[in-house]
Structure 1
Amino acid sequence: MVRFEGIDERHRSFIEKQQMFFVATAAHEGRVNIAPKGMDSLRVLGPNRIVWLNLTGAENETAAHLLENPRMTLMWCSFDRKPLILRAYGKATSVHPRNSEWDELYRLFPDTPGLRQIHDLSVDLVLTSCGYGVPLYDFIGQRKTLIKWADRLGSEGMREYQEENNTLSLDGKPTGLLK
């Protein structure tokens, strides 16, 4: 295990090659959330800043947790020949389309249907470890299912879905999504 105060170029290169990452958050009480993320949804903006585009899904735990407790951990694992696990720890905020910084951040990503918010992580610790216990996998491709689903719903259908499924966490905490 090696500790760093920020993301160096080797870390950035590793992060940008990964096809998947995991996000972990927790409110002061209730469930801890960990979720896999993929697609072209993450940008390293510097040694101490990462932003990632969060698309609509079954629940919206990350946003609810951040309203109460800004701690976030992102994790990447190498599934190829060179083993490595990298974690970025810090505090994050959710940026919604109604926020002033939205346009500046959203333009960093491809236009993607079903967007929900962008999470902006201020990194205060990077930790690397061996990853010797992570299995080897071959990447086949990103799934297109979420994008096709969002396209079929359209903007009005997406808003209705979000109102029904994404405004409260599993523990009944508000997510701040629709205000």
Structure 2
Amino acid sequence: MGKIYDRLTDRLREFISAQPVYFVATAPDQGGHVNVSPKGYPDTFTVIDDTTVAYLDLDGSGVETIAHIRDNGRVTVMFCAFDGPPNIVRLYGTGRVVTPADPDFAVLIPRFGPHSGVRSIIVVSCDRISDSCGFSVPFMSYEKERTLLDEWAGRKDVQQKRAYRARHNRESIDGLAALAPEETDPVRHHS
């Protein structure tokens, strides 16, 4: 059934890279709402080394993951097989928010595809890597990527993105600090 790994093996890396969707879960320390976010676009996730992964954080309606990671660092990333052999891979660890002002941003951004609404990069240092059977996960057919998020962000100019982030991305639904005012400026370059 399930197995725990001390590193991301070639088999796990291959499985992760083949999944069209992954899920990110976080929770604040002092009560509040647990958050699970689905993520798409295959070029938004990368394995950095045997125990470190990262994903591109794009504009969205909320900013729970950033707020929760800044609150306590805890994050879990989950991949499920919706076709082929059943499998679930979970990456548990400590996250770090890398904003465009961070020197690591310029080093990390080339690892991802071009997207219009980049807010940050979330880097996860994995302290537990596991897989399990996924016997009850249904078969589902992948058709294609939804392009709506990139299209929406691509229609916004710098001022519109700044205003949107100031309205929707400064704090979590529970009032935790997320993006600071100086962090709401849109990224001016793509990977």
Partner residue in 2 for 1:8: 9
1:177–1:11 distance in 2 versus 1, CA, 3 Å: farther
Specify which of 31, 35, 38 is matched with residue 36 of structure 1.
38
How high is the TM-score relative to the length of structure 1?
0.97
The aligned residue for residue 90 of structure 2 is 87
The superposition leaves residues 22-45 of structure 1 with CA deviations (integer Å, 9 ceiling, x where unpaired) of 000111021111110010200011
Deviations along 1:57-83, one digit per CA (max 9) or x if unpaired, are: 000000000111101100000000211
For structure 2, the residue ranges without an aligned partner over 5 or more in a row are: 183-191
Question: What CA deviation, in whole Å up to 9, does each residue of 1:147-178 have, x standing for no partner?
Answer: 11001112221111001001110001110343
* Aligned CA-pair RMSD: 0.9
Q: Which string of whole-angstrom CA distances, capped at 9 and with x for unpartnered residues, describes residues 123-166 of structure 1?
A: 11111100110000010011000011001112221111001001
Question: Take 2:131 and 2:113, find their aligned partners in 1: how far apart are those partners?
Answer: 29
Q: Which residue of 2 aligns with 1:99?
A: 102
Q: Secondary structure in 2 aligned to 1:174?
A: coil
| C-alpha contact (below 8 Å) 2:169/2:179 kept by paired residues | no
- Measure, in 1, the Cα distance between the counterparts of 2:157 and 2:111: 22
What is the percentage of aligned positions where both structures have the same residue?
Answer: 35
Q: Map of 1:14-33 to 2, 5 A cutoff?
A: 14-29=15-30, 30-33=32-35
Q: In the aligned structure 2, how far is the partner of 1:131 from the partner of 1:11? A: 15
Structure 1 unaligned spans of 5+: none
Aligned to 1:158: 161
Q: Is the Cα contact below 8 Å between 1:6 and 1:124 reproduced in 2?
A: no
Q: Is the 8 A contact 2:57 2:118 kept in 1?
A: yes
The answer on 1:116 being equivalent to 2:119 is yes
Residue 137 of structure 1 aligns with an amino acid whose one-letter code is M
* Match 2:50 to one of 47, 52, 73: 47
Of the three residues 152, 175, 179, the one matched with 1:176 is 179
Q: Could you list the runs of 4 or more consecutive aligned residues of structure 1 that deviate by over 2 angstroms after TM superposition?
A: 176-179
2:59 and 2:181 map into 1 onto residues whose CA distance is 13
Q: Which residue does the alignment assign to 2:129? A: 126
CA contact (8 A) 2:45 2:56 kept: yes
Matches within 5 A, 1:67-86: 67-86=70-89
Within 1, Cα distance between the matches of 2:113 and 2:152? 17
In 2, the alpha carbon distance for the partners of 1:102 and 1:178 equals 18
Measured against aligned partners, the alpha-carbon deviations of 1:5-54 in whole angstroms (never above 9, x if no partner) come to: 12111000000000000000111021111110010200011110001001
